[in-house]
Structure 1
């Protein structure tokens, strides 16, 4: 006769696991399964609203105008300059058939990986590197379907000054959030913001300027390292209403735009600004984020992706000044998992990049157009990059303008009297058209 022990589900073990491990309410567990279930109960409790480990330095993309990268040439690619603007929300249009783009990096660089978010694309892409733009070394070819959201190519630790992407597509669409990761980090950059609002666009969520991800909730515990280092947020299946990420920029920043590239599901994004981080002691006596602040705080920006396009952009009418920003996604229904591939928390500023004998200084008009000056052992070169004009040529993500007056939880945010949200002139992204 078996020993029988009735044990109640502590509430943290997924119901389907608990059901599989029980029979008519009577536990019939072997020691190994018992340990697994107890571990699954404990880990979420430890991770909930606890601070992420803060990396000493954060990898940054080496393929932007901010470190002197330019477009050497492109063929059959719409808005190829969006590849280097460091704005993950801007689309790069690709038609069916063959197309290519060649980037010139500011210096001979180690390349570990290349990635982008695919929207409806089907086919393959080949990555090649070159020291002089003449002799090319193929690194990897990756095939993908419209179901593949994130496309990533590995280059190991190959080196090159020129980087080429060759697409061969059976179905056209667009890509966003193009990144080339090498050995550069946020330590290579300094950002100075100007009182008149001029400068180059800077995505402070990408680490440039010293920004760090502090909290993510609910948290997929095994993904916290990639979230803190690379910025990709993988939220687990959860009964919680919101998916939240909290950022610390190290100092007060002037911010003009917020957005995300996320799972293509209907979702509402709300943005909150804080002067001081709302924290309290948890059951271990350690400081943890206090989510009760959201009960009374007013968002400084709100936008809804009603069609599930996978991209949103919220632009307040007046600049937000804050050190801490919380991004909250509210899916229209409880998805099995929700991923934020990239985040945009944008402001403008003069950016300096230093790496060995390479010096890059980038400024702009505060509207999106930039000018970079590159100095190295070979001399000095300057080039301008335009953002393409308009909201992605009429094919960008939905944009919401927010009336001034929404204040942060600590009483500071954007100035002005309270008002209603207004829909700016913007359009939903055009769905990819089969070619």
Structure 2
């Protein structure tokens, strides 16, 4: 039986043709305001009213353990970030056309965590904007227009970035200047040499772009392939692939919008685990712990060449309030040891999930790097038999056990687990116990 590919926003999403259960009136109000662009989780959506740390509280007083939302990565409503935003918004909010030390202090603190050669930053409001700008720079620097992405990649929602986000497309085909490669997983490269197999796929894709007359401007990937189902091993996975990209005259864009800012535990950035040096780095989501801030890091000469033809300015990107939020996030990660906690808590969770999988025939693989975890749900532990229906049932069951997670993968059969970096062992145990209960009932 064939299994249909699932669009990313359809995973774990509310069916707008249903009533919405106890929150039906609120659902009706939301749909009347946003129409078909509305995206809500669960068949009975949840009305949230407050949050703290790893927990969110609903209108009815129920508390939910948030193992889904990696935007609030240092914890919901972290007091250090809240105080920094409140202090700065009461003092000054302007754009980057004026000098302001808050902004430059943040930029220098962020640059201290980046490769030395990527010494210029452009700040934006979203990862979509950062990736859009990275694409434009890649085309200018290389003189080419083609892009390579993975089969179920998601990189944002501007027009250009949507075209390189296969998982966002419902009916339209990818344009000719975009070629996909399978993510580096066992089911796609069964001979076991993932790094070599992935590099060969990149080589074939680059040759196809050249044959079509576009050439290769860039290979862009989320450093843990999160939308594809979370693939992070072996260490050094991307080295050969990036070498191939460079041989064809293209750039490697490391999309750190999801894995960046200490989530992987082994490094501050996901690409560090792969031992591949990016030409451009994009970042967003956890950068401001809920305040809109994102950015792009590049070599100065790349910005120089891009700016020869067109000016770039972002009205809200890099404003002092955003910079204050971003700097506070960096301070919290360092002072609270959250990178170490991501490594330790991630290892603990992975071990518990591996143990759970031994007694459950629906888990075929647990893939993790720090607090970025993917659990492959399949029939009879066979990675060749994905079971998206079971995965959806597990996610829905966890919702009623007061735990929130998401889905990923081409078929939506991978449980995507992204706890906040402050997650404690007790909270990890709460999740494991809830998952164990759901698995025994489903």
Q: Which has the higher contact order (CA 8 A, sep 6+)?
A: 2
TM surpasses 0.5: no
Q: As a proportion of its length, which structure holds more helix?
A: 2
TM norm structure 1: 0.25
Q: As a proportion of its length, which structure holds more strand?
A: 1
